[in-house]
Structure 1
Amino acid sequence: MSFDVQGLRDALEQHGRVARVVIASHQGSSPRETGASMLVWDGGQSGTIGGGVLELEAARRALDATVTTVTRVPLGPALGQCCGGSVTLVTEVFECVPDVSNSYLRRVEGDAAEPLKIKRAKSQDRNGSSHELAFDQGWLFEPVQPARAPLWVWGAGHVGRAIVDVIAPTQAVDITWVDSAPDRFPDRRDGEKSFVINELSAINIPDAVPHAPRDAHHLILTYSHVFDLDLCHRLLDHGFASAGLIGSSTKWARFRSRLQTLGHTDAQISRIQCPIGQPDLGKHPQAIAVGVASELLMSLQTKTLGKDVAV
């Protein structure tokens, strides 16, 4: 877990004042691990610290907070939960993004000098041996989350919408969603947005390929096989971290043949995965979305970004 600067920036741009609640430490059994956090604003929140009543009470206190607070909560006696442990929550109020680089260090309570545990955490973070939150004697140290991997979703049909609905709340990727007209995208009311999605309209969808970063992940899900093939062709020329195409084995066999005719080698073509997801889960849009999301999130967590890994 780490401090998500981009997530905070997005929330501030949409909602103004935002409170952040993080589990700074826990003892015994707890609903979430140390470092789990959530953002809370008037009318909504993103992220979760788990625990049902724990989260409900923490969100209520966060809305009323005006200064940084440290709250120690025994889950059984205070909240009637069966976890049996306790958590320490740090709640901070933000009206702008703090000036941070690779880590975020601050004293959240008391006046103690910077303790040895915090100094060690900083040193370990600098040399790459550890990137963990540390909390001691009122000091809180968090590594800053690296820039999110860019994900381009091509197509806003049933499967595209299901995939975005599953992946976007994780805030693990920076999503650009492309289709041929603005009305192809679902109507998302401002009050329902807890994350940012960049929607891009292009009458000829493949014309947007040059705007994609060369290290982006791609999911090709348009309503047109002509667009799908052209996207595969252009992305192979453009470059990508990974690419997945929705379709059957028969569709992919035809595409492979046509891509060979267009001058792409077998090795290049094999970088595109088709079908996508986990076929054993079925063909329902949400089932496809679950399979695709799990593979993508696992690839990000195992640091396969930039390698030839298909989603």
Structure 2
Amino acid sequence: MSHHHEIWSRALDLSRRGVSFVVITVIRTKGSTPRDPGAAMIWRPGEGFIGTVGGGQFEQLVLDAAETHHENRTSGTEAYTLGADADQCCGGTMEVFFEYVGSRHTVVLFGAGHVAFEVARLLGSAPVRTVIVDDRAEWNTEERFACAHRVLDWSEGVGACRERKAETLVCVMTCSHDTDFDLLRELLQDPPAFVGLIGSRSKRACLFGRLVASGIDENVVRRVHCPIGVGDTGKEPSLVAVSIAAQILMEVRRADAGG
């Protein structure tokens, strides 16, 4: 497999799995350099890199920059003088383009049941990163959620919602009303941009009352969208999911438009 074929094959695989990454490409060189324009590599959080743009101290500087672009979800160009910046005797200059690949928005689904499965399927081709949180390993499987990131610990899932609150949308749809309550109580301590709860109006009244009684400000509780969805599309999981996915994508578009 050629260098470029491997890079783009891995990029396609990562995109399909909803994994964000940075593509690093040499776009211009001058003088003596270890690689020519077109050399590329991929940097992934927690998994290192694929390919090379030159090795040595220069490549370490490039990887550090890729990590920064990933953290900020940005793309951009940076120039390096190999002698001054990387302490390499080549002495040439290299201009590198960093392209962040991934969504600005993350959708976290608490619950891996039938509706969550259908919602994740619908969001699979949408410009969002989907995370499934459920401690039931037999439900929260790679086979069922191949295009999503999976978390098997409720607390870890809540923590993930706080990393980028302004860009995170949460839907609570577990198999237990008590678990829904516990999650909402934690999430509303430091709420993300959007919190939705699956259920009826009677469930809404019950859980909202419990949340207020637990000490959470009523105005904060009322920010929870319940019933979640754009309307009554039917009772089958696949039909309920259409309504929920539609509201999620509407919220994403509103955020992108600055609303």
Q: Is 1:96 aligned with 2:42?
A: yes
How far off is 1:306 after superposition? Answer: 9.1
1:213 aligned to which of 162, 171, 188: 162
2:162–2:190 contact (8 Å) kept in structure 1: no
SS in 2 for 1:238: coil
1:299–1:305 contact (8 Å) kept in structure 2: no
Task: Specify the alignment match of 1:257 in structure 2.
Answer: 209
How far off is 1:147 after superposition? Answer: 4.7
SS in 1 for 2:129: strand
Describe the superposition over 1:46-66 as per-residue Cα deviations: whole angstroms up to 9, x where unpaired.
5xxxxxxxxxxxxxxxxxxxx
SS in 1 for 2:138: helix
State the AA in 1 paired with 2:112.
A
Number of corresponding residues: 187
Q: Is 1:201 aligned with 2:157?
A: no
Q: Is 1:160 aligned with 2:116?
A: yes
Query: Structure 1 residues 181 and 144 mapped into 2: Cα distance closer, same or farther (>3 Å)?
Result: closer
Q: 1:152, 1:297 → 2: CA distance? A: 13
Query: Structure 1 residues 305 and 285 mapped into 2: Cα distance closer, same or farther (>3 Å)?
Result: farther
Task: Specify the alignment match of 2:132 in structure 1.
Answer: 177
Q: How does 1:83-162 map to 2 (within 5 A)?
A: 96=42, 102=74, 147-162=103-118
Describe the superposition over 1:96-133 as per-residue Cα deviations: whole angstroms up to 9, x where unpaired.
3698865579xxxxxxxxxxxxxxxxxxxxxxxxxxxx
* Bigger shift: residues 224-233 or 275-284: 275-284
Query: Structure 1 residues 184 and 270 mapped into 2: Cα distance closer, same or farther (>3 Å)?
Result: same
Q: 2:203, 2:183 → 1: CA distance? A: 14
2:171–2:197 contact (8 Å) kept in structure 1: yes
How far off is 1:293 after superposition? Answer: 1.5
Q: Percent identity?
A: 26
Q: 1:161, 1:305 → 2: CA distance? A: 28
State the AA in 2 paired with 1:164.
A
State the AA in 2 paired with 1:181.
R
Task: Specify the alignment match of 1:287 in structure 2.
Answer: 239
SS in 1 for 2:125: helix
State the AA in 2 paired with 1:227.
T
1:18–1:94 contact (8 Å) kept in structure 2: no
Task: Specify the alignment match of 1:278 in structure 2.
Answer: 230
1:217–1:241 contact (8 Å) kept in structure 2: yes
Unaligned runs of 5+ in 2: 17-37, 44-52, 54-61, 78-98
How far off is 1:93 after superposition? Answer: 10
Task: Specify the alignment match of 1:236 in structure 2.
Answer: 188
Q: 1:164, 1:147 → 2: CA distance? A: 15
What TM-score does the superposition give when structure 1 sets the normalisation length? 0.50
Task: Specify the alignment match of 2:251 in structure 1.
Answer: 299
How far off is 1:209 after superposition? Answer: 1.7
Query: Structure 1 residues 199 and 187 mapped into 2: Cα distance closer, same or farther (>3 Å)?
Result: closer
1:267 aligned to which of 219, 222, 236: 219
How far off is 1:224 after superposition? Answer: 0.6
1:241–1:306 contact (8 Å) kept in structure 2: no
SS in 2 for 1:166: helix
1:246–1:275 contact (8 Å) kept in structure 2: yes
State the AA in 2 paired with 1:289.
A
SS in 1 for 2:109: strand
State the AA in 2 paired with 1:184.
W
1:18 aligned to which of 2, 5, 8: 8
Unaligned runs of 5+ in 1: 1-14, 21-38, 47-91, 106-142
State the AA in 2 paired with 1:198.
H
Describe the superposition over 1:230-255 as per-residue Cα deviations: whole angstroms up to 9, x where unpaired.
11111111321111001100000011
Q: 2:207, 2:258 → 1: CA distance? A: 24
RMSD: 3.7
Task: Specify the alignment match of 2:174 in structure 1.
Answer: 222
How far off is 1:40 after superposition? Answer: 5.8
Query: Structure 1 residues 264 and 304 mapped into 2: Cα distance closer, same or farther (>3 Å)?
Result: farther
2:109–2:170 contact (8 Å) kept in structure 1: yes
Q: 1:305, 1:218 → 2: CA distance? A: 19
How far off is 1:296 after superposition? Answer: 1.6
